[in-house]
Structure 1
Amino acid sequence: MFDGNGTITIKGTKDGLTLFINDRASFDNAINELAEKLSEYTPKKDEPIVPVTVKLGNRYINDEQKQQLEKMIGNNHRFSIEAFDSNVIHREEALKWKQESDIQVVNKVVRSGQVLENTGDLLLIGDVNPGGKVSATGNIFVMGSLLGIAHAGQNGDREAVIAASYMNPSQLRIADYISRAPDYETDGVYLECGLIDNTQNKIVIDRLQVLSSMRKDISGFERRMLNG
């Protein structure tokens, strides 16, 4: 039988406190033990607010339970929950994560006036003509000529990249960064990518091969694209 005395463990870190809730205990038992532990602590009024990370293990808690924990921990205790860390996610969250992490393959030419939008990474086998636009919440890979507009990281992902077999866009956008085409005519470049360079705080165009070193989390599929 589970020993209720070990339901709650609190450890201090350089970033605040970590609260471990044993996932073998019922949530009610965890709440009761946490309340008991907190009743022994009376902070001073001038103490800084301490951030708390709640580790849930193999336990899923709903929004109501999260609010219950937030209220209990924050109520006159100078604590504030910064994050909930769980090995378990809701089915809807899992499906959303799968959608955002999948690579959508589209075989078409995006012509002037057309807009192609995608959730997750987009692999376009075809051209983006002048006046056409492609956008994605993740990365954009164009196996053809990118002559129109491309917007990667549409929801704010600054790690997103844009790559094309032939790069001569009218505009590149990554998250909230914008790189416009130069005022003079260019011949474009082959096998190049656009990404945010944090040292320059702008979008830069570089060789496609730099992605493997500048984006360490690049997926195996994308590595195969780069390496042939």
Structure 2
Amino acid sequence: MREENLVVFKGTVDGIIVFIDPKADFEIVLQHFKAKLEESKKFFKGTKVSVRFKGRVLSEREQGKLLEILTNQESIHISFIHPFEGEIKEEKTEMLWVREQLRSFEGSMTHFHYGIVRSGHHIEYRGNVVVLGDVNPGGLISAGGNVIILGALKGKVCAGLDEKVPHPFIVSTSMAPIQIGIRSVIAKAPEGDAEALYRKSENGPLIAYLQDGQIYMDQIDLKTLNHMLK
């Protein structure tokens, strides 16, 4: 396939279908995807669009890379992202407890928010909350369960308001919150620490969790998850 056709955007009534070459190197695909987003902004300026990916079976890592690009771009206003087709699971054994909790009765209800949580916007839900976008300063999320943010957390988040959720947590791909809370414990970021948290996020998503009455924030790894399960 010609290189300019590795990623093809096709407009629909309510959005975009993104056709991805099934054999091309994925890093090259990402470059073309970014370029196509920039090229398409003049066609979709001022409108909300849905996005559907087709043509390639994507692993969870690849899905995450595409979603990260979508949430960090400002060219197109994304209103909805359709489920990926033919997902390949890349489960890590240390994350199985998170999966089981999300499948449990307490964690089975999840609210998905597509786009930026802007200043003055409050998302309140009795289950889990997943945000595909940033939480800006002045934005607030209150969840009975867990909070997962596929973007930058710069506002306020409170998780675990439902006492039935056994190990509430907050995950974000980039963390520099004004304030986070888990259960009744509140933690505010010390002034000047935002840059240090951003640098820490470069090594992977961060998770905030409650242990011995205090909120800890670490890279997601087996050691951290074991501490949470004690």
Q: TM-score category by the smaller chain? A: 0.3 to 0.5
Give me the TM-score of the superposition, normalised by structure 1: 0.47
Structure whose alpha-carbon radius of gyration is higher: 1
Asked which structure has the greater RCO (Cα within 8 Å, sep 6+), the reply is 2
Give me the TM-score of the superposition, normalised by structure 2: 0.47
